Structure 1
């Protein structure tokens, strides 16, 4: 039985009447902001995450399974190329009318069938309806083309002669989970590869551009919130780009490893073997699943173990955690005026403070990625457990995978928006460096160690720790040191802005530039 056989809400009732004139299809009436406020940003996921998309994917699995059965010598059905093409068009040309018919078959009955209260059974009856229509179209076409023909056998090229004879073979030997586990993965896999991965790459590309453009822009680093050895803004962006590239690579691998199961009600092929004991059903199953471009799960209960989905969800959390770190740092850089933001014409930053240009994109990204991580953690933990050989609690949970991906997508797009608006404030960065000359203390004591000074660290600590110092204070120290004049001059050339090590060159170490993460 379906987990939620409730009739589609028609918008009637006292609650719906509270806002007159809004239909349920209006984004302003959406229960979730994913389909309301953020509908424009989440729209690319609709072909993979909607209920209609799941119906289409189930239809695809059922049609392809029927065609695969027709390829077995033991099964008394077969299809020529025209018939195969006609059957595939059922899911290839799947539209809103088809989705509504399936929903009607499930919830209220249609086309002569009582309400199934079962979503997969509704797809089976839907296929019966469509097969009958294909047969009728074939008969009509054959009648027209056969007018005046002397040979009745040559007059008919109908793709399907007898639809009813195929009815027993739709969903033959299958359990709903055989269809569902494949259908869900046939949606998740392209959703990730066609929508999620490109969105992450857009953020990464923006980071790479910032890193390359500002590889030489010196900036004060902070550890524990306190001034630390200087870096460059470009190098810091390169760190995020490299991390994101590696995390994205793990998502790509996990997505490619999605695995499907087709083995019957307890994972034993019992019904298949009872009907046709001499057919190699195990080999058939593997061939069928791999034909859908999924890996094959040979050992399963009724449920396909969802360790593959859990690995994907965890990999996505890895991407999100990198970007959450970026969002937090970008917010702080804006707060410290290291980053300026280009004002959007007509945009309001505050309802009461007209001057405000707030880091709303990074804040929105942070919120959505945090929500996504909460959902992904729940999904990864939940879908990997099932009571004994099967229980239905995961069915409603899996319907929320699209919502988790949608929060990811919003977070990625908002992070990209934020990066597109920021402008490094080199003047502020330089002023802050000039105001914290104590950060060259590390370099000073290291050079003195090189020269054999056993008290190097202590000398610099006594001068600078917890005190306000200037470059002149350091130069006075240098003049007092018992070192060669060459070393003294070397020390005097040290400045905070020039003390960035190989930061500019490290930008070229971004993993994946020109490599797998960009392919």
Structure 2
């Protein structure tokens, strides 16, 4: 069988390929090879600035050309490296050989070519890999994942404010409860997501370039007079834009990856909670869904308009979290100074984050279809006069009336309550007239506390 969207094992590269197009060049094998080339070249350029007698500083045109190779890196270049790997059976060594070939093949890189043995100088493969993974995650997080999550948050924040005053019956334990507003319930989700989003953004992405077991052994064997730790820190932080980890085994221990993946998982868990709630609200009729011409909800029931975007989101959020949880639990564990179990697992970063991005896209699509159904919300509230037992017994407590909770429990628990029955009870109470009139004016729809205010000021300084 040929390789195509129809024969792809993963739906991320099949059915959903278009949705994940922005992530593919960053977290695919192409993305890994591309970043390896970048790291090798930046290390090579930095070595030329050390003042080594054997490796003079590269002239500006050659530096620019080397970085142009990185900027213009193509799939054909990645394939050429893969072809070398068929012989070396070592992916990082294949990158080193490809760069040396490029140096030797370009007259404009004559000085660099004379010093080709400084490509990958004193490096272990993991010096290249760990920094490449850091660069991959940085690009994916900053240019794709956070913007996508920000889009969901912005949509929800807009809904929270626009629906701030639309009353809605709460359902604690699935039962009628004190009313809220649609906007306030969405604002609750926004506040949680904003905090989770900041945790994702705050994770420091680490890198190390300290040799085979983290001690600069080979570096010092060649040049014992150089402060290799300071040099490596400069490459990692200044040239690659990562945070330096000074204490490692052969691999960077991946604790920051676990922190990042756990932070994404937390966001996903919040969104699973939200997707399930919206599914329920659609079922109750609180939301309608805009129709799309030609779309079919059921192969046998023509009337159906299913909340499929929220169902797809929930399913893919679960897949993402399962994979992210394994990554965060496995990656920080390595036998002695290094085993290879992290290598194959790391190749699934794009899969795990891809399912998250796919889910966020489904949520955004679903949210764009929602229309509030105020008539259904109002009808639900008008059928739940029993929720006013709470404010009535609380006012009774204030004014010292006997057994307020017990009297309201006797009146309402398990019984059908109407406006007439609840107001008749209020009329019997020995309360100040102003208090009695305030309770008589109360309805399930206007008993919403500060819900509207809280939703309206979402994002304002607290």
**TM-score, length basis structure 2:** 0.98
1:496 paired with 2:460, answer no
1:83 paired with 2:31, answer no
Displacement after TM superposition at 1:485 (Å): 2.1
- Counterpart of 2:171 in 1: which secondary structure? strand
2:227 paired residue number: 280
1:103 paired residue number: 82
- Counterpart of 1:216 in 2: which secondary structure? coil
2:368 paired residue number: 420
- Given that 2:160 and 2:456 are in contact with CA atoms closer than 8 Å, whether structure 1 keeps it comes out as no
Residues in 2 aligned to 1:408 and 1:162: alpha-carbon distance in whole angstroms: 42
- Given that 2:168 and 2:381 are in contact with CA atoms closer than 8 Å, whether structure 1 keeps it comes out as yes
1:40 paired residue number: 18
1:125 paired residue number: 97
1:359 paired with 2:304, answer no
- Unaligned residue ranges in structure 2 (runs of 5+): none
Cα distance change, pair 162–411 in 1 and its aligned pair in 2 (3 A): closer
1:149 paired residue number: none
Displacement after TM superposition at 1:105 (Å): 0.1
1:71 paired residue number: 49
1:434 paired residue number: 382
- Counterpart of 2:31 in 1: which secondary structure? helix
Q: Deviations over 1:328-385 (max 9, x none)?
A: 0000001111111011111111111111100000000001110000000000001000
- Given that 1:70 and 1:76 are in contact with CA atoms closer than 8 Å, whether structure 2 keeps it comes out as no
2:208 paired residue number: 261
Displacement after TM superposition at 1:161 (Å): 4.2
- Counterpart of 2:454 in 1: which secondary structure? helix
Q: 2:176 aligns with which of 227, 231, 237?
A: 227
Cα distance change, pair 476–100 in 1 and its aligned pair in 2 (3 A): same
Q: 2:256 aligns with which of 308, 311, 315?
A: 308
Displacement after TM superposition at 1:510 (Å): 2.5
Q: Deviations over 1:425-477 (max 9, x none)?
A: 11011001110100011010111111112411111111001111112111221
Displacement after TM superposition at 1:162 (Å): 6.4
Q: Deviations over 1:11-61 (max 9, x none)?
A: xxxxx2xxxxxx31x211211100000001111101211111111100000
Residues in 1 aligned to 2:269 and 2:53: alpha-carbon distance in whole angstroms: 51
1:324 paired with 2:272, answer yes
1:241 paired with 2:215, answer no
- Counterpart of 1:221 in 2: which secondary structure? strand
Residues in 2 aligned to 1:161 and 1:207: alpha-carbon distance in whole angstroms: 56
Cα distance change, pair 59–75 in 1 and its aligned pair in 2 (3 A): farther
Q: Deviations over 1:298-338 (max 9, x none)?
A: 01110101111110001101110111111000000011111
2:338 paired residue number: 390
- Counterpart of 1:28 in 2: which secondary structure? coil
- Given that 1:215 and 1:504 are in contact with CA atoms closer than 8 Å, whether structure 2 keeps it comes out as yes
- Given that 1:86 and 1:134 are in contact with CA atoms closer than 8 Å, whether structure 2 keeps it comes out as no
1:270 paired residue number: 217
1:160 paired with 2:138, answer no
Q: Which moved more, 1:355-364 or 1:482-491?
A: 482-491
Cα distance change, pair 75–504 in 1 and its aligned pair in 2 (3 A): farther
1:380 paired with 2:328, answer yes
Residues in 2 aligned to 1:72 and 1:479: alpha-carbon distance in whole angstroms: 90
- Given that 1:305 and 1:384 are in contact with CA atoms closer than 8 Å, whether structure 2 keeps it comes out as yes
Residues in 2 aligned to 1:224 and 1:460: alpha-carbon distance in whole angstroms: 20
Residues in 2 aligned to 1:162 and 1:225: alpha-carbon distance in whole angstroms: 70
2:5 paired residue number: 27
Q: Which moved more, 1:370-379 or 1:467-476?
A: 467-476
Runs of 4+ in 1 over 6 A off after TM superposition: none
**TM-score, length basis structure 1:** 0.87
Cα distance change, pair 327–182 in 1 and its aligned pair in 2 (3 A): same
1:152 paired residue number: none
Residues in 2 aligned to 1:162 and 1:203: alpha-carbon distance in whole angstroms: 47
Displacement after TM superposition at 1:491 (Å): 1.6
Q: 2:106 aligns with which of 96, 115, 134?
A: 134
Q: Deviations over 1:132-157 (max 9, x none)?
A: 1223xx3xxxxxxxxxxxxxxxxxxx
Cα distance change, pair 502–75 in 1 and its aligned pair in 2 (3 A): farther
- Counterpart of 2:110 in 1: which secondary structure? coil
- Counterpart of 1:310 in 2: which secondary structure? helix
Cα distance change, pair 86–125 in 1 and its aligned pair in 2 (3 A): same
Residues in 2 aligned to 1:477 and 1:46: alpha-carbon distance in whole angstroms: 65
- Counterpart of 2:106 in 1: which secondary structure? helix
Cα distance change, pair 456–514 in 1 and its aligned pair in 2 (3 A): closer
- Unaligned residue ranges in structure 1 (runs of 5+): 1-15, 17-22, 108-114, 139-158
Cα distance change, pair 423–162 in 1 and its aligned pair in 2 (3 A): closer
- Counterpart of 2:115 in 1: which secondary structure? helix
Give aligned pairs, total: 460
Residues in 2 aligned to 1:509 and 1:300: alpha-carbon distance in whole angstroms: 46
Larger radius of gyration between Structure 1 and Structure 2 = 1
